[in-house]
Structure 1
Amino acid sequence: MQIIKTFTIVTTLLLLPFLTLKAQTSHLLDYIVLNSGDTLYGKVKHVNQRKVPPRYYKKIRFTNTKGKRKKYKRADVAAFNVNNTNYEGFWLSQSSRGMTLINPQYDIDPKNGERYFLRVISKGKLSHYYLEWWEQGEAGSSWMDLFRKEKDQFFIRATQGLFGLKRKTLAKYFANCPSLQEKIKKKQIRKVSQVVDYYNKNCVD
């Protein structure tokens, strides 16, 4: 019995550096998560930087650790990570309101929506995402801040550009948390990050 224990300990000590190296290597790599649930590590490209302005590839490009390349339809990808930045896929629709940047709500609609990958800023009872795009002549991306409560099947736009928080929209959205609602109305909370932090610490779904 003692021999078995000694062998197990020695084997674990010998393998530990390799397991640690593998974990560290995986952490440094991009990855792609397929709808099947499989997670593949390697290099992910989803934006064509050669175009002016840059634009999203119709298919997400993946190169595995052996250098083998493959393209995946956006509809077949659930999420991916590029340079330690997470993106989650959603079918978003504004069919009842028209697809414009001033609309406050984006419905999750797999039947009629268009595939978007939202940049994950923070996750919690209230999650914060960026919907990104490129303006003509601009090399850097623009974005809008979106909120989503855990059980909601839609996103709410949090800001109105340079004018700050969409206070009327958010006050209505946070009717389930009167204290946050009041702070938004009285401009005691002015930043997106403050809204997220307050809701996740003080509000009950």
Structure 2
Amino acid sequence: MTEDTRQAVSRRTFIKGVIAAGAVASSSAYLFRATALHGQPSAAGPVGSVERLITLTVNGQERRIDVMPQETLAMTLRYKLGLTGTKIGCDRAECGACTVLIDEVPYYSCSFLTHRARGKKVVTIEGLADSATGKLSPVQQGVVDEQGFQCAFCMPGFVMAATGYLKTNPSPTRQELAHGVSGNLCRCQDYDKILTALMRGAEHMRNA
């Protein structure tokens, strides 16, 4: 082998080595980025990593679910558990259509991370009626009695907010109940009929 040939082989070997090293570095960077984006913990378990397979208690049942770290409870309820009574309106904690009860307190589920619900009891509009008999809850029955909504997109949120409020004040005045559900908005602006229905629900709750 001549000197020129040896130099050519050496150059080719060097170039191949550089390309291989670059490919390894690029792959490592991609994997690191994918881990950061998708929340997949590495073997070493990076600080701040979140377990994805969690157990939630929803409407009295324990549900095992694969949840992304940034996933909201509204998304989990609707698209993973099929509980579509929880509506997503504004998706920024303004309209209240996504209201659910967490440990009997009303929360906007669109701004509540699912991981925060671990160890808590979540109730949606589907969980208010008696599971054995199908009997509606007092507030739901009040809505039926008074036909208190037009399009009813906002209805589940109002019912959940009122249910939570009435647990703390079962005998409210109309003004007090209006204040209690003031975090919920109605696109149809039918607030007078809504309040009448919710007041009837409060009456049913007291007589139950």
Same fold (TM over 0.5): no
Higher relative contact order (CA 8 A, sep 6+): 2
**Could you say which structure has the higher helix fraction?**
2
Q: Which of these two proteins has the greater Rg computed from alpha carbons?
A: 2
| TM-score between the two structures when normalised by the length of structure 2 | 0.28
**Could you say which structure has the higher strand fraction?**
1
| TM-score between the two structures when normalised by the length of structure 1 | 0.28
